[in-house]
Amino acid sequence: MHVVWGFSPLQSAGSRGEQARQLVIDLETRGKQAFPIFLSILRDTGQGHLADMLIEECRCLPVPPQLVDLRPVELELHGEKQNKNVNLPERLSIPVQAESERPQKPPTPAQGSAVDKRTCDLVYELKADPCGHCLILNNVNFSRDSDLSTRDGSDVDCEKLEKRFKALRFDVLTRRDLKAQEMVSELRKLARRDHSTLDCCIVVILSHGCQTSHIQFPGGIYGTDGKPIPIEKIVNYFNGSNCQSLRGKPKLFFIQACGGEQKDRGFVVDCDSPSDKAPGGSLESDASPFQTPSANVDEPDAIASLPTPSDILVSYSTFPGFVSWREASSGSWYVEMLDSVLEQYAHSEDLLNMLLRVANAVSAKGRYKQMPGCFNFLRKKFFFTCK
């Protein structure tokens, strides 16, 4: 039996058993009725021994038992309806694997790199080079009448983030020691730029901060003149209504500033406490007291509620109302850990996962505690593109 039903010659399949096994496999591709029909023809033509051999080979095929449909496929012969009690060979009843129950090849898993993960629908595409603009506002020295101290260590933070975001393919612009209105001017200038050929925008603010009245995003940032700017006002410059060329694109804000003046001593847990030294010496905070508007103080601009914030993430160095710690020699806890995590994981993890790492690392430091967090209104996962 060298040529059967238009199948290719079976001699090349090897031994007789291998030829039979190949024939069974070929028949399976012709539909679930092909095999029993073929067996019936063999028996009708006096080749029952070949039918028995094929059935035996079928039982030996390496198909997991749980994937085989053991319900019989019944075949009516000679085009006539047979009595249900008719015996073989007139009515065949053999195990046949249903088409829908054959083992499916599992999808190939993602291969560990951020590039592979970007193929899914819920991931922002960063194809432009540079990916976008990154504006860093670094306030170190404040006017005497502001009652705000010099932010020693902030230049260390600024240098780290300049290098990091350049390595992440952003066009970085840094502005130092700006008054509140100058900060607003730089932010508006960035929002008015044409971002249509870019994929993202980043704003980093390093300054003293405070609590302030808000609707969406808590906290305020001080200019070097001691005047506060609500964070929600800063974010609002870049929303879909005010910056059309960034519509649908991620807008990321990283805020290193205090959210208030509360100092968190934390609470006792069962595990061993961290060995970090207690705050003292060169350790400073970016806190400034919450200022209640009075007759002698201008109330912050009223901010209209965002219709539906989208594609926005605001990462805070600390929980609203609490102090954010900074060391003169090594910079702030938050920026130190943010830079370290980006260096290690930006090539493989999405932004939210990395911010969890930052929060976990910062929360373990010091006798006084600090808890970073974020307001996330991104619609998709965000992966940086590394050089």
- Catalytic residue ranges: 208, 258
Distance CA 376, CA 362 (A): 19
Sign of the CA dihedral running 64, 67, 70, 73? negative
Q: What angle in degrees, to the nearest 10, is found between the helix axes of 48-60 and 34-44?
A: 150
Distance CA 369, CA 219 (A): 19
On whether the CB atoms of residues 123 and 117 are closer than 8 A, the answer is yes
DSSP class per residue in 70-118: -SEEEE--TTSPPPTTPPTTTSEEEE---GGGSPPPPPPPP-SSHHHHT
CB under 8 A, 24+ apart: contacts of 84-91: 89/39, 89/40, 89/43, 89/44, 89/48, 89/51
On whether the CB atoms of residues 140 and 222 are closer than 8 A, the answer is no
Pick from 129, 139, 226, 121: which is nearest to 176 by CA?
139
On whether the CB atoms of residues 198 and 132 are closer than 8 A, the answer is yes
CB under 8 Å to 178, separation ≥6 — which residues?
137, 139, 186, 223, 224
Distance CA 320, CA 373 (A): 9
Distance CA 315, CA 200 (A): 16
- The DSSP element (H or E) to which 379 belongs, if any, is none
